[in-house]
């Protein structure tokens, strides 16, 4: 049982501690159930020696004797006036079983509640720990594995802490009481019955370790299945477009087959205990019969005592078999909890320094002072020597090839990543010295792929805000040019838009996201390629909505189409993590550097594609709002 009390399992059981009072009540009740089981064994003796033997007349049958010549009679537990032993037995047995059943129901219910509540706390803690991780965590951990840890792995521990925790107490007390009854009735036969017990205990211990390893592998396979399911359902259009249905089905089946093999390893180990126990009983019972026959013949033992012993012995075998299975299930729970505790042990995103202050409302300028950044894994430098100033109300455009560091640069402002070197100041205040909440409250974002939730239009627009007046929500939707299409939806603002907003078009999703940003009304705005994947008509609507959103705000724009940033106050060209050029559109074109080259290449491509596509003018020359 050493591994049963391993540090990991102790940690799992620590979640039960807040419910110690209810657990204690449940334990007391199941202890009474075990005590009642012992009383039943003595009543078997009374039934055989007195009730089934009419020649023996007694008005006060002995239930059991205590040290010091003290005797406990059956009459002690029943109303006075009952003298016939058969009547006493007929009243006592149903009464005992009624009390036992009530105590068992209440006790197991209490213990089950404790286990369920403990695992609910564990699941909530795991989710809170995951959701508070930095952005980099989600880039290195797949959604499927996170889902599996939070749902499947915690569910395995739930079974152990609720169902099997109740079994552990109930069967444990029953085993102790019934073993005590066995030794009380005949200690010699009790010792003889326990001689072969190591044949059960030793294999159970060995199989327990195997079960734990197999459970770890099973949970890994479940995570793989979750990952495959998540990827192929969210990316179903790609799967169908490339005709990869059969390939993905085979991959899923192969992983499921591996899961089957891992599950069967611990199933085979878990189910070995009952047959061993049955074999043990088949060996012990005939030997006891031979011994008891001589004891009864010589009047050293009554027939009732022997039947009571056999009843208690079989009663002890059942909890012993069950406790072996419970032990194995706790081993499986330990294996399943490995990844759960690995997530719980991770360091959360460091929100702010001790004594961080509230950032005052943005009023003047944002400064990037010699900013450098690299990811924690020691990869190459992503950004270095970044210096820029953005004054209130200015539009700062960031251009450059893929991988130049544009998105990383704007993600440093809300502290999605922490700087490696340098500093970022908002109105001369270093953002490291302020609370994350006060900083992010002043920043709104509209990205290339905005995440909408499987909820109503209203709740998606109001995300992060509470008790927003209806007129403000409608005004935000109107400014985002979203109100008209929202009113055409089946339930208008109460329409559920599906996972990631899949029931809406790309342009509609962007306008919902813009409405959300307008409603937040933050003075700083980040636009990360907000129109790059839209058709011409949708882009036109989104550009107009963005123009409404940008009014009076300091805006950082990452744009793929250079035509959309011609009116920016400052255009920064990033290459290899550094700012190579800076200026307005006309200045950079006249300079003839990288920006001019990118501009010429892009419009040369438009000239080549235009005849073949017969595109309208709005495709190559969308509204110039920036």
The average pLDDT across 116-136 equals: 82
Residues 229 and 85 in one domain: yes
Report the range of poorest mean pLDDT among 269-273, 287-291, 438-442. Answer: 269-273
Residues 337 and 376 in one domain: no
The average pLDDT across 399-414 equals: 83
Residues 107 and 230 in one domain: yes
Residues 109 and 199 in one domain: yes
Question: Where are the extended beta strands (E) located within 347-382?
Answer: 365-373
Residue 45 belongs to domain with CATH number: 1.20.1560.10
Collapsing DSSP to helix, strand or coil, 566 comes out as: coil
User: Residue 520 falls within a domain, yes or no?
Assistant: no
CA pair distance 236, 16, nearest whole angstrom: 42
Residues 65 and 207 in one domain: yes
User: Residue 288 falls within a domain, yes or no?
Assistant: yes
pLDDT at 90 over 60: yes
SS (H, E, C) 219-244: HHHHHHHHHHHHHHHHCHHHHHHCCC
User: Residue 536 falls within a domain, yes or no?
Assistant: no
Residue 377 belongs to domain with CATH number: 3.40.50.300
**For 292-300, which contacts have Cβ atoms below 8 Å and span 24 or more sequence positions?**
292/189
Collapsing DSSP to helix, strand or coil, 509 comes out as: helix
Transcribe 398-467 into DSSP letters. EE-STTSSHHHHHHHTTTSS--SEEEEEETTEEGGGB-HHHHHTTEEEEESS----SSBHHHHHTTT--S
Residues 6+ apart with CB under 8 A from 86: 51
User: Residue 553 falls within a domain, yes or no?
Assistant: no
The average pLDDT across 574-580 equals: 84
Residues 230 and 370 in one domain: no
Cβ proximity of 305 and 186 under 8 Å: yes
Q: Can you read off the two tokens belonging to residue 320?
A: 């012993």
Q: Can you read off the two tokens belonging to residue 175?
A: 């085993």
pLDDT at 470 over 60: yes
Residues 252 and 364 in one domain: no
Q: What is the pLDDT of residues 321-378, one digit of tens each?
A: 777 667 767 767 766 677 778 778 777 666 667 778 888 888 888 888 888 888 776 6
The average pLDDT across 69-96 equals: 67
Q: Can you read off the two tokens belonging to residue 362?
A: 């943005």
CA pair distance 545, 538, nearest whole angstrom: 11
pLDDT at 99 over 50: yes
Q: Which of 444, 470, 448 is nearest to 458 (CA)?
A: 470
CA pair distance 18, 315, nearest whole angstrom: 33
Q: Which residues sit opposite 424 in a β-bridge? A: 368
CA pair distance 11, 80, nearest whole angstrom: 52
The average pLDDT across 86-104 equals: 82
Report the range of poorest mean pLDDT among 180-184, 358-362, 459-463. Answer: 180-184
Q: What is the pLDDT of residue 618?
A: 37
Q: What is the pLDDT of residue 64?
A: 58
Predicted model pTM: 0.68
Alpha helices in 566-614 (DSSP H): 585-591, 594-613
User: Residue 546 falls within a domain, yes or no?
Assistant: no
What's the number of CA atoms in the CB half-sphere (13 Å) around residue 321? Answer: 17
Exposure letters 586-620 (e unless 16+ CB within 10 A, then b): eebbeeeebbeebbeeeeeebeeeeeeeeeeeebb
Residues 273 and 167 in one domain: yes
Q: Which helix (H) or strand (E) holds 185?
A: helix 165-185
pLDDT at 589 over 80: yes
What share of the chain has pLDDT > 70, as a percent?
77
Question: Which residue do the tokens 């925790």 mark?
Answer: 165
Residues 429 and 569 in one domain: yes
The average pLDDT across 278-290 equals: 74
Q: What is the pLDDT of residue 37?
A: 83
What's the number of CA atoms in the CB half-sphere (13 Å) around residue 231? Answer: 16
Number of domains present in the structure of the chain? 2
Q: What is the pLDDT of residue 205?
A: 57
User: Residue 515 falls within a domain, yes or no?
Assistant: no
SS (H, E, C) 243-299: CCHHHHHHHHHHHHHHHHHHHHHHHHHHCCHHHHHHHHHHHHHHHHHHHHHHHHHCC
Q: Which domain does 51 fall in, by range?
A: 17-344
With residues binned 3-state (H G I as helix, E B as strand, rest as coil), the percentages for the chain, rounded to 5, are 65, 10, 25
What share of the chain has pLDDT > 90, as a percent?
0
Q: What is the pLDDT of residue 577?
A: 82
**Phi/psi of residue 175, each to 5°?**
-60, -45
In sign, the C-alpha dihedral spanning 68, 73, 76, 82 is: negative
Question: If you ran DSSP here, which 8-state letter would residue 143 be given?
Answer: H
Angle between helices 506-520 and 536-550 (to 10 degrees): 0
User: Residue 538 falls within a domain, yes or no?
Assistant: no
Q: Which residues sit opposite 109 in a β-bridge? A: none
Cβ proximity of 570 and 394 under 8 Å: yes
Q: What is the pLDDT of residue 69?
A: 62
Residues 317 and 438 in one domain: no
Q: Which residues sit opposite 443 in a β-bridge? A: 524
Q: What is the pLDDT of residues 520-547, one digit of tens each?
A: 888 888 888 766 555 666 667 777 777 7
Other beta carbons less than 10 A from residue 253's beta carbon: 10
Report the range of poorest mean pLDDT among 3-7, 183-187, 292-296, 363-367. Answer: 3-7
pLDDT at 31 over 70: yes
Q: What is the pLDDT of residue 2?
A: 39
Question: Which residue do the tokens 């409404």 mark?
Answer: 548
Residues 384 and 317 in one domain: no
N-terminal to C-terminal alpha carbon distance within the chain: 70
Question: Which residue do the tokens 């290195």 mark?
Answer: 140
User: Residue 384 falls within a domain, yes or no?
Assistant: yes
Residues 268 and 364 in one domain: no
CA pair distance 21, 9, nearest whole angstrom: 21
């Amino acid at each position: 049982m050493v591994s049963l009390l391993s540090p990991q399992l102790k940690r799992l059981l620590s979640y039960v501690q807040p419910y110690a009072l209810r657990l204690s009540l449940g334990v007391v009740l199941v202890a009474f159930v075990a005590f009642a089981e012992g009383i039943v064994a003595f009543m078997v003796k009374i039934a055989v020696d007195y009730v089934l033997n009419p020649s023996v007349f007694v008005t006060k049958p002995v239930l059991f004797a205590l040290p010091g010549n003290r005797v406990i009679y059956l009459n002690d537990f029943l109303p006075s006036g009952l003298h016939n032993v058969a009547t006493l037995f007929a009243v006592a047995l149903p009464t005992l079983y009624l009390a036992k059943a009530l105590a068992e129901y209440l006790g197991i219910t209490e213990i089950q509640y404790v286990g369920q509540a403990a695992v609910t706390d564990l699941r909530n803690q795991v989710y809170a720990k995951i959701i508070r991780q930095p952005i980099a965590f989600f880039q290195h951990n797949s959604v499927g594995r996170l889902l599996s840890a939070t749902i499947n792995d915690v569910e395995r521990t739930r079974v152990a802490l609720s169902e099997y925790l109740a079994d552990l107490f109930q069967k444990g007390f029953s085993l102790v009481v019934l073993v005590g009854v066995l030794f009380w009735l005949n200690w010699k036969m009790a010792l003889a019955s326990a001689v072969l017990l190591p044949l059960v205990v030793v294999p159970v211990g060995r199989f327990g370790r195997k079960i734990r390893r197999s459970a770890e592998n099973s949970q890994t396979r479940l995570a793989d299945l979750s990952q495959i399911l998540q990827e192929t359902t969210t990316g179903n259009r790609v799967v169908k477009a490339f005709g990869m249905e059969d390939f993905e089905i085979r991959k899923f089946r192969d992983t499921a087959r591996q899961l089957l093999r891992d599950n069967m390893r611990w199933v085979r180990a878990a189910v070995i205990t009952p047959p061993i126990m049955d074999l043990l009983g088949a060996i012990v019972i005939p030997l006891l019969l031979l011994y008891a026959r001589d004891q009864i013949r010589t009047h050293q033992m009554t027939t009732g005592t022997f039947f009571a012993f056999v009843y208690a012995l079989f009663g002890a075998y059942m909890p012993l078999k069950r406790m072996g299975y419970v032990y194995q299930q706790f081993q499986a729970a330990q294996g399943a909890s490995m990844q759960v505790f690995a997530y719980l042990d991770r360091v959360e995103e460091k929100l702010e320094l001790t004594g961080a202050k509230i950032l005052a409302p943005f009023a003047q300028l944002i400064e990037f002072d010699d900013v450098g950044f690299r990811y924690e894994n020691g990869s190459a430098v992503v950004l270095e020597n970044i210096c820029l100033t953005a004054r209130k109300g200015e539009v700062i455009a960031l251009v450059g090839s893929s991988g130049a560091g544009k998105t990383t640069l704007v993600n440093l402002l809300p502290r999605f990543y922490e700087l490696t070197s340098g500093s970022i100041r908002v109105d001369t205040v270093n953002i490291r010295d302020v609370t994350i909440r006060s900083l992010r409250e002043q920043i709104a974002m509209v990205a290339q792929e905005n995440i909408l939730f499987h909820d109503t239009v209203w709740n998606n627009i109001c995300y992060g805000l509470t008790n927003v007046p209806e007129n403000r929500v409608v005004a935000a939707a109107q400014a985002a040019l979203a109100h008209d299409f929202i009113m055409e939806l089946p339930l208008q603002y109460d329409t559920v838009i599906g996972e990631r907003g899949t029931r809406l078009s790309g342009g509609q999703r962007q306008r919902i996201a813009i409405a959300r940003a307008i409603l937040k009304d933050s003075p700083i705005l980040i636009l990360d390629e907000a129109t790059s994947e839209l058709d011409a008509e949708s882009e036109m609507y989104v550009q107009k909505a963005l123009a409404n959103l940008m009014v009076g705000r300091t805006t950082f724009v990452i744009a793929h189409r250079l035509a959309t940033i011609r009116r920016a106050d400052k255009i920064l060209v990033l290459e290899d993590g550094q700012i190579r050029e800076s200026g307005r559109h006309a200045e950079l074109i006249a300079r003839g550097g990288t920006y001019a080259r990118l501009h010429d290449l892009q419009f040369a491509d438009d000239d080549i594609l235009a005849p073949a596509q017969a595109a309208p003018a709005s495709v190559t020359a969308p509204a110039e709002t920036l």
